[in-house]
Chain A
Amino acid sequence: MAESLSYTEKLKKWNRFEVEKFSKKAPVTTPYPFIDIEKPPEYRGIPHINPEKCIGCGACVNACPPDALILEWDKKRGVKRLTFNAARCIRCHRCVEVCPTGAMEPTNIFEIATDNKEDLVEVVEHKLAYCEECGEYLDFTERQIEYVKAILPKEIIDMYALEDRIGLTQEAKMRKTVEKLRETEGNAYPAFILVKKGGEE
């Protein structure tokens, strides 16, 4: 295989109307796919999930027009699975736009032809948070909860007593609130104040 000029170099020479105009002839036919084709940096290729950054929030799944990304919950095993199927991807990069953590990484790969469909699928599994109170898994992943804790300002966390409550299932949370309400029956304070008190105790 002949060493080839860079693709753009070649195309510069291709830019001609009559043959006399160019001095050195450059071959236009390249031994593609055995060599790499130069892509512009702006090209939108298939995205890639960085499992270290992904928190499993599912924002990308909601945005994806052709359902190339899907989320599944397996409450028995306590995992949440994010699957990316490049065969369905239309390379629109909506997912890249909406991802809060930058886990969806843009690439400019466009050649996805393969003889093995498994190559096209990327799977990221997340551990679901576990509620000690009722012994069930939450809808959220552990990382999601960490992330929420990290980005919310202190006041809000205090106001809603999130430190304690965030790890609970919806049911347990409601039960706690009801208990508090019972304790202070006839009290005119809004519920969150009661909760706050509860948090401080």
Chain B
Amino acid sequence: MVTTRDLEAHFEFECRACENGHCRKADVETILSERKGLKEFYEAFKEHIKECKRMTYGQYMFVIDREVLPEAVLWWHNHPEFKETHLSTAVGTDERPLNGKFVYMPFLNVQVEPQNMDENYWVFLKAYMPADDPSFPSVAAKLPAALWIEREVKDLLGFNPVGHPDPRRLILPEDWPEGVYPLRKDMDYRHSPMAEVKTEFKEKPEGTTLVPMGPVHMGIEEPAHFRLFVKGEEIVDVDYRGFYSHRGIEKTGEGRLTYNQVLFLAERICGICGYQHSVSYAMAVERLADVEIPDRARYIRTLMLELERIHNHLLWVGIAAHLVGYDTGFMHAWRIREPVMWLVERLTGNRKQYGMNIVGGVRRDILDYRKEEILKVVKQIREETKKFIDIALNTNTFIKRAEGVGILPYKIAKAYSVLGPTARASGRRIDTRLDQATKTAMAYNEVDFKVPVYKEGDVLARVLVRMDELFESLWIVEQLIDQMPGGDIMVPIGDLPEYEEALGFTEAHRGEVVHYVMTGEKNKVYRWKVRAPTYNNLPAVPEMLKGYHVADAPLIIASIDPCYSCTERVQFVDVETGKVKVLTEAEFNELSIKYRGVF
């Protein structure tokens, strides 16, 4: 039914691994010689590497002993030549139904040459752990970028990161009982036990006063609880407790949905960067199915992604203006943004691009007469934003509050794997759009744009990076409209291979979004892991806050453009969608009719 051509053949890469007709079967030597650095790594950890495998184009996996995990991760992260390489995230999987083991697997975004998507690649370091002793030596003890993810696998899967400096609960609520691990496969996704409330806050340092900020952020109006320890006006230390909007999306996706249905869940992870999530997810599945999507679909996706970036940057700059007390700027930024939303509504059927994507392409075509409309909006936005920036950057209220505040030095940004504009404002030259092979799902390789980088690392630099990016995005949209190829907008996807893994990724306006998908039987998803950029940026916020005043805190926190819902993906208890969904749903409806007016 589906004709699948190899991705490499289509994009004219020289593929040296396809001796058996399928790249995943190529032998070790050829795999290792494909990219720079792989061989070196293999030599360094020879005794501990059990298997090495090429997952898909530009994604390599090493099955490695858990004892050397920290060394292996640090080998990549601190590679002297590959400067911008970072630990992107990790995933914990319960593979007991398959092979009786648990898996912990960090992902590294290896950057051989910045912004060269044919040279860079992803490395998965897969470590198996026996079912009776799921523990591994903590990477976080040496690399803060792993702090949260290790706490996460501890909460959700019951792994034990030995030597973790801060093993408190991160994700699960305070009243969740000990020893119940939601992401283990033997737990039903409808089960939601309760226990005594037990809060774990950081000890207050000697001689400081506690200033609680939260549980709701005053500017972004999302739940996040910061505890600032202050001496006078100065912030000395910070404690963070979040994950109040954990919705258990990953579990739902794994529990009952087919791969096409998961997509509609994926795009609802975030209220403003949903399209990034849906493209990332679709990309991962397309890689697994080994299909190549039509060029027109890639262009339309890129167009939507860039329109999303434009309106999100405007939204953020509005909030930043609001937080410094420059409300005129806030009003104008949001007024300028609105036409983009209307445009998107006409193009996709929803203000927020929801429902536009599907695995294998897009659902609505861009008709030719619309192109003019897009260009008109782009032109208008460019003019208005120029004026707006001119005025905002000449307003003392704004500059005085933003300049020299919340400085994040390059070294800390790297150690925490900070992403996106926050990283670029601190001098990190990263942008997933160009760094990794996004060309299978998006068309960034066919347009020309610059990636703005600033060195200052303060809030102002973050504003400037975003505004520069906004103009680049407008330019990308114009190029896309100009070059839009004809043809189909989607290809059907057949059955997925069983128990294969792949990553999908995009650069959202906050940084790199990563979706890891492992397929199960019957076109279901066995494991789905979402990592939103704020997940990496938020742990670095305490570092930014230290040494500044309490009054600056809301702005500094907002300056990374945090999105709590994305980060926390994640505990809704869904009783009415069981396996026997037909009946339970009906009961639910009957009940709701019966008790109407009662609740």
| Shortest distance from the beta carbon of A82 to any chain B beta carbon, whole Å | 11
Question: Which stretch (A63-71, A131-139, A149-157) binds chain B?
Answer: A63-71
Count A-B contacts at CB 8 Å.
Answer: 70
Q: Mark B324-366, 1 if CB is under 8 A from A, else 0.
A: 0000000010010001001001111110001100000001100
Q: In the complex, how many residues of chain A place their beta carbon closer than 8 angstroms to a beta carbon of chain B? A: 28
- Report B338 CB to chain A, min CB distance, Å: 8
Interface size class of B (residues with CB under 8 A): 35 or more
B303 to chain A, nearest CB (A): 16
B residues less than 8 Å from A65 (CB atoms) = 257, 260-261, 263-265
> In the complex, what's the smallest C-beta–C-beta distance from B522 to chain A, in angstroms?
13
Q: For A43, what are the chain B residues with a Cβ–Cβ distance below 8 Å?
A: 345, 349-350
- CB-CB under 8 A from A81, the residues of chain B are 586
How distant is A66 from chain B, measured CB to nearest CB, in Å?
Answer: 7
Contact A67 B355 (CB under 8 A): no
Give every chain B residue within 8 A of A91 (Cβ-Cβ): 350, 354-355
B4 located at the interface, meaning its Cβ lies under 8 Å from any Cβ of chain A in the complex = no
Does B198 reach chain A (CB closer than 8 Å)? Answer: no
With A44-B349, A65-B257 already in contact, the answer to whether A116 and B596 are too (CB < 8 A) is yes
A93 to B: closest C-beta gap in Å: 7
B384 within 8 A of A: yes
CB-based nearest B residue for A92? B355
Closest B residue to A85 using CB positions: B589
Report the bound CA distance from A94 to B387 in whole Å.
42
List B contacts of A93 (CB < 8 A).
Answer: 349, 355
Complex contacts, B346 vs chain A, CB 8 Å: 40, 42
Q: Give min CB distance, B485 to chain A, whole Å.
A: 23
A34 within 8 A of partner (CB): no
Q: Does A83 interact with chain B (Cβ within 8 Å)?
A: yes
Contact partner of B264 (CB less than 8 A), chosen from A17, A44, A90, is: A90
B586: A residues at CB distance < 8 A: 70, 72, 81, 83
- Chain A residues with Cβ under 8 A from B585's Cβ? 67, 70, 83, 85
Instruction: List residues of chain B with CB within 8 A of the CB of A70.
Output: 581-582, 585-586
- Closest residue of A by beta carbon distance from B336: A17
**Closest residue to B268 on the A side, CB-wise?**
A90
Asked if B577 is at the interface (CB within 8 A of a chain A CB), the reply is: yes
Q: Does chain A have a CB within 8 A of B380? A: yes
Give per-residue flags for A91-112: 1 if the beta carbon is below 8 A from chain B beta carbons, else 0.
1111001000000000000000
Contact A17 B265 (CB under 8 A): no
Does A118 make an interface contact (CB < 8 A)?
yes
Instruction: Tell me if B593 counts as interface (CB < 8 A to partner A).
Output: yes
B384 touches A17 (CB 8 A): yes
Q: Is A42 within 8 A of B347, CB to CB?
A: yes
A117 within 8 Å of B (CB atoms):
yes
Q: Verify A117–B355 contact, CB threshold 8 A.
A: no
Q: Is the CB of B350 within 8 A of A118?
A: no
Q: How far is the CB of A20 from chain B (nearest CB, A)?
A: 14
Specify which of A11, A71, A92 lies most central, judged by the most chain B CB atoms within 10 Å of its CB: A92
Task: Other than A43-B345, A43-B349, give 12 A-B pairs with Cβ distance below 8 A.
Answer: A11-B342, A15-B380, A44-B349, A63-B260, A70-B586, A72-B582, A83-B589, A90-B264, A92-B354, A93-B349, A118-B596, A121-B589
Q: Which residues of B contact A (CB under 8 A)?
A: 257, 260-261, 263-265, 268, 332, 335, 339, 342, 345-350, 354-355, 363-364, 380, 384, 387, 576-577, 581-583, 585-586, 589, 592-593, 596
Instruction: Name 7 interchain pairs, CB-CB below 8 A, sorted by A.
Output: A42-B347, A43-B350, A65-B257, A72-B586, A93-B349, A94-B264, A117-B592
